[in-house]
Each structure stands twice: as C-alpha cells, then as structure tokens.
Amino acid sequence: MRRVSFALGVISWVCLMVSVSGIGANWGTQSSHPLPPTAVVQMLKENGFQKVKLFDAEEGTMSALRKSGLQVMVGLPNDMLATLATSMKAANNWVATNVSAYLNDGVDIRYVAVGNEPFLQTYNGSFLQTTFPALQNIQGALIKAGLGNRVKATVPLNADVYNSPTGRPSDGDFRADIRDFMLPIVKFLNDNGAAFTVNIYPFISLYTDSNFPVDYAFFEGSSSGVVDGSVTYSNMFDANLDTLLWALKKNGFPSLPVIVGEIGWPTDGDMNANVQLAQKFNQGFMNHISTGQGTPMRSGLIDAYLFSLIDEDEKSIQPGNFERHWGVYTYDGWPKYQLNLGTTRTGTLARVKNIQYLDKQWCVLKPSVNLENSKLAATISYACANADCTSLGYKTSCGDLDVRGNISYAFNSYYQKNDQDEVACGFENMATITNKDPSTGTCRFGIMIIADSGISWRIRHWGASLLSFVILPLFLTLL
Ligand SMILES: *[C@@H]1O[C@H](CO)[C@@H](O)[C@H](O)[C@H]1NC(C)=O
Ligand SMILES: *[C@@H]1O[C@H](CO)[C@@H](O)[C@H](O)[C@H]1NC(C)=O
Ligand SMILES: *[C@@H]1O[C@H](CO)[C@@H](O)[C@H](O)[C@H]1NC(C)=O
C-alpha cells in the first residue's frame, strides 16, 4: 500500500513535470542595464524553462547559453533581411558565425528566426520582397553547413497576417494584400520540415478596441464567445490560433506545425496593463496549455514562448507605453507575480540571483521649487525623453502621484539610468539627492542595477582616470 502510494506520487510528480512539455521565454535585451546573462540563464534553468527565443545572436547571451540544456531560437533582425536576401555569401557567413560556431560550443540551437514580424502593417511593406529570399538563403546555408536536419529557419509573424471576414475561425485565410507573399513562405516551411511561427496578443485587441469583451481575452470562460458551427470558442487565443490553422488547411497545409512565438500580457503603461491581469492571463494560458487538449482544430501540446522574460527600458514606445513592461520579471530580476509554470516542484518562480545595485539613493524635486518655474516643463520633457516615464499616466502603477511626485519620478528615472551620476541630478538646480525612498503603494522609484558586470560598470564610471592612473602604471610595473 505504501509502495503503491509512493509510486503514484512519483508518477503524478513526473506527470506534473512533463505535462507542459517545454514552455519557452522570449529574452530581449533592449535595456540600458541588462542583467548578467549567466544569472539569467541560471534563473531560466531553476524555473524549468526549456527554451529561449532571442532577437539577435549577441555574444554574451549566446555564451551564457553554452551547455545550459536550454533549446535556443536565435534571431536575425529585420534590418539584415535585405543583405541576406541578396547574398548567399552573407547567409553562409551568418550561419557560420551565429549558428555553427555556437553549436560546436554547446549551444543547443534548434531554430533561426528570420526577421521579427516583418509583415507588420506599420512597416508599410518594407520587408515584403526580402523576407522570403532571406528565409531561403538562411535555410540553404543551414543545409550547406550540414545542419539541415538539426536547425530550421522560420519567420515569426504577427497574427495580423491572417484574418476571418466573419470572425469565425473556419472562414480564416491569409490577409488578401499579402496572400501571394505568404503562400510561398508556408510551402517552403512545409517542404523543409520547419514550423510556422505566430505571435498572438489578446492584450493588443483590448488596447485597440474599447468594445472588445474583456473576459474573451482570458481563459476562464466568456459569455461573449464565438460560435463556429458545432464549436463555441470561449477565449480569443483558441479562436485566433484556429483561424491560422484553418487558413493553413485551406491552402493545402493541414499539418504544418505551429509555434506560438510570443504570448503574454504587460504590467504597466496602460489601464489594462497591471500585475493582476498579467498574472490572470499568463497563469490562465499555462493552465490552458498544460491540459494538452490543444484547440478545437488541433489537439495536443502547444509549443509556446512567453513574452517576455524581462522588462526592457529602451524599447520603442511607438506602439504604446506598455511596450517596456511585458516582462514576467522586473529589470532587476524579480518575478512581478506568482506564476506556476508546471515545471518545478514548488510551482513558484525563482528570482535572478546575485544582482548588484547602485547606492540606496534617489533624485527628487527640491521641495522649495515653485511649480510655476518656467524651466520645469523643459527639464521634465528632457528627463522623460532620455529615461522612462511610462509608469506615469492614467491607471498606471504611478498614476496616483501628484504633480511634484510626477516630476520627481522623471528626475529619478534619468538619474538612475545615468548610473546615479551627480551631474544627472542637476535639472537647473531644481533637483536633489535623497536617501529616503520616495516609492508609494504600487509606484516604485527604482534604484539602478550595476549593468552586466561590476567590472564593466566600474570601468565606465571611473573611465579613463582609472585606466591611466592605476591599471596602466600597474601593468607597466609588472612588465
Ligand atoms: C551575427 O549576429 C550578430 C548579432 O546579431 C550580428 O551583429 C553579426 O553581424 C552576425 N554575423 C554575421 C557574420 O552576419
Ligand atoms: C509608413 O507610411 C506612413 C504614411 O505614409 C509614414 O508616416 C511612416 O513613417 C511609414 N513607416 C515606415 C516604417 O516606413
Ligand atoms: C503625471 O504625468 C502623467 C504623464 O505625463 C500625466 O498623465 C498625469 O496627468 C500627471 N499627473 C499630475 C497630477 O500632474
């Protein structure tokens, strides 16, 4: 009896571990102060992530992934598509440097992401002509390098490349204006045993359409579901993915594998972006895919990468202020909310360890400054343009600050981003440094981390003087 229950325990534990076979994370690095890649990889492993998706092939990141056991989708940015489309030599070089060399060194590369959402409508068709030839050249280079069976090329596309005129998934097809560009790509992916990669964003639907039914974005059932023949869709994710699966089927590719390249919810910068909704969405998604039921069109496990791992303070906010807040983790490596990935025994997220911070001090508006001061507006604009004010505004994490709080927030953001350089807390003599934390409620006045490694920060900080007065003489003495 004891043995039976022990065996059952082991079995259920094993089931828990494998039920989500492979959740991945998008690891972007558009940050002023990136976390040390080795510490991030350690955190990924502790949390049982099996895969990472990158947007480039930056050396520090790639090196940290050596012998990590993590599967890697390495990326090449849109601005390289034109070169790779026209030059087989450039494609061979890219694969030699950014795939073969790392593979030989123990980085488990499985996919190359050719471009990132190159057909997005905001790009005005700039990459329409180059995406397919670049995909062909990269796959060709992989085959030439003897990696044809091991590494596949794919193109992460936004879900806006397909639609359904009626809203019913079964009426799905590729968008009329790009259908002629999509079909050869889909056929090529199919011929090469690769997968279609799609990024799906219920948050954006809610952000762009105020009439979008909120509960349809989540996974807890919705009264405003979509009825499609005998199927009723109660969440947008299933309906969206099935619209793609119908489009693929209709065009002759009923079994092409699909990877969900990005899925997630931001935590700040918009009224619908907060930790409660992000937790609800991501946990709902994890629970949904852990059933292994798939969608009405395709049962089975769903291969997906959460978007994203860590906040990035240098992302463009052209799409919206939420853009810098997609991370499950803060810029300094703390999980923002609890998320059970179903990959560990504890079911809790581990933080990034051994992070070093700058001093416990903040830059704030001097209490004596008159708010009528004519120079204030310009200093705030300057601070916000060069640092990050996306947590200010209606129903954001710092939305309850008063005018003075707003100004202090902007000043501090600029000061921290500039490594607490005293000069960066000048602002026409209207700012001052304090060691009293100005944070309130949900509004966090951050302290910057020491970027990447202590050594690089120190060298940057003391710069030339350290080099010329300490290191160089020491070096010469040793010689
Ligand atoms: C390899 O990737 C890096 C980072 O994305 C890029 O800068 C470099 O140009 C690539 N190498 C080649 C030979 O294309
Ligand atoms: C796309 O076109 C619009 C209007 O013609 C223009 O304002 C915008 O800058 C263009 N964007 C890109 C990425 O070329
Ligand atoms: C604080 O700044 C944000 C963003 O600039 C603005 O929307 C908000 O109205 C400001 N709040 C106050 C009290 O000035």
| Span of 14-18, 236-240, 343-347 with lowest mean pLDDT | 14-18
Top-level class of domain 362-477:
mainly alpha
Higher pLDDT, 470 or 268: 268
Q: What residues are in contact with ligand 3 under a 6 Å CB criterion? A: 392-393, 402-403, 406
| Phi–psi pair at 406, nearest 5 degrees | -55, -45
DSSP letter string, 167-195: S-GGG-EE-GGGHHHHHHHHHHHHHTT--
| Interval 296-335: pLDDT, tens | 999 999 999 999 999 999 999 999 999 999 999 999 999 9
Which contacts of 36-39 are long-range, i.e. CB under 8 A and separated by 24 or more positions?
Answer: 36/354, 36/355, 36/452, 36/453, 37/61, 37/63, 37/64, 37/65, 37/452, 38/64, 39/333, 39/352, 39/353, 39/354, 39/355
* Average pLDDT over every residue of 353-359: 96
Which contacts of 223-230 are long-range, i.e. CB under 8 A and separated by 24 or more positions?
Answer: 226/167, 226/168, 226/169, 227/168, 228/168, 228/169, 228/170, 229/168, 229/170
Q: Is the pLDDT of residue 461 over 80?
A: no
CB 135 within 8 A of CB 111: no
- Residue appearing with tokens 């993915």: 241
127: CA distance to ligand 2 center in Å? 13
Residue closest via CA to ligand 2's atom 2 equals 124
| Phi–psi pair at 162, nearest 5 degrees | -135, 165
* Closest ligand, as measured to the CA of 123: 2
Q: Is the dihedral of CA 323, 326, 330, 336 positive or negative?
A: positive
Q: How far apart are CA 417 and CA 445, in angstroms?
A: 12
Q: How far apart are CA 252 and CA 472, in angstroms?
A: 67
The CATH code of the domain at 2-325 is: 3.20.20.80
Q: How far apart are CA 102 and CA 65, in angstroms?
A: 9
318: CA distance to ligand 2 center in Å? 12
Q: Is the dihedral of CA 404, 407, 412, 413 positive or negative?
A: positive
CB 55 within 8 A of CB 29: yes
CB 366 within 8 A of CB 430: yes
Q: Are strands 231-233 and 226-228 parallel, antiparallel or unpaired?
A: antiparallel
Active site residue 312: no
Quickly list H helices, 54-146.
59-64, 81-86, 88-95, 101-104, 131-144
Residue closest via CA to ligand 1's atom 6 equals 57
Percent of the chain with pLDDT over 70: 90
125: CA distance to ligand 3 center in Å? 36
Distances in Å between the Cα of 413 and the Cα atoms of 245, 383, 443 are 44, 7, 13
pLDDT at 223: 86
Mutate to test the pocket of ligand 1, among 98, 103, 107 (most ligand atoms within 8 A of CB): 98
* Closest ligand, as measured to the CA of 98: 1
Out of 46, 59, 117, 372, the active site residue is 117
Maximum Cα–Cα distance for the chain, whole Å?
83
122: CA distance to ligand 2 center in Å? 7
Q: Is the pLDDT of residue 39 over 70?
A: yes
Q: Is the pLDDT of residue 110 over 90?
A: yes
Q: How far apart are CA 327 and CA 305, in angstroms?
A: 12
Q: How far apart are CA 220 and CA 236, in angstroms?
A: 11
| Interval 408-439: pLDDT, tens | 999 999 999 999 999 999 999 999 999 999 99
Q: How far apart are CA 202 and CA 113, in angstroms?
A: 22
Q: How far apart are CA 208 and CA 193, in angstroms?
A: 36
| Interval 111-161: pLDDT, tens | 999 999 999 988 999 999 999 999 999 999 999 999 999 999 999 999 999
pLDDT at 451: 76
For residue 124 and ligand 2, the question of a CB distance below 6 A is answered with yes
* Closest ligand, as measured to the CA of 399: 3
Residue closest via CA to ligand 1's atom 12 equals 94
Say how many residues make up the chain. Answer: 479
Q: How far apart are CA 347 and CA 16, in angstroms?
A: 10
CB 459 within 8 A of CB 374: no
Tell me the average pLDDT of the chain: 92
8: CA distance to ligand 3 center in Å? 57
CB 311 within 8 A of CB 325: yes
Q: How far apart are CA 203 and CA 312, in angstroms?
A: 18
Q: Is the pLDDT of residue 340 over 90?
A: yes
Closest Cα to residue 237, out of 188, 181, 298?
298
Q: Domain spans of the chain?
A: 2-325, 362-477
Mutate to test the pocket of ligand 3, among 321, 384, 392, 408 (most ligand atoms within 8 A of CB): 392
End-to-end Cα, the chain, rounded Å: 74
| Interval 175-187: pLDDT, tens | 999 999 999 999 9
For residue 374 and ligand 2, the question of a CB distance below 6 A is answered with no
Indicate which atom in ligand 3 lies nearest the CA of residue 384. Answer: 5
474: CA distance to ligand 1 center in Å? 36
Q: How far apart are CA 419 and CA 462, in angstroms?
A: 12
Mutate to test the pocket of ligand 3, among 404, 406, 411, 443 (most ligand atoms within 8 A of CB): 406
Q: How far apart are CA 266 and CA 325, in angstroms?
A: 5
pLDDT at 452: 65
- Tokens read off for 246: 């119908």
Active site residue 46: no
69: CA distance to ligand 3 center in Å? 46
CB 350 within 8 A of CB 47: yes
CB 50 within 8 A of CB 23: yes
Cα of 39 vs its chain's centroid, Å: 17
* Closest ligand, as measured to the CA of 83: 1
Q: How far apart are CA 280 and CA 261, in angstroms?
A: 20
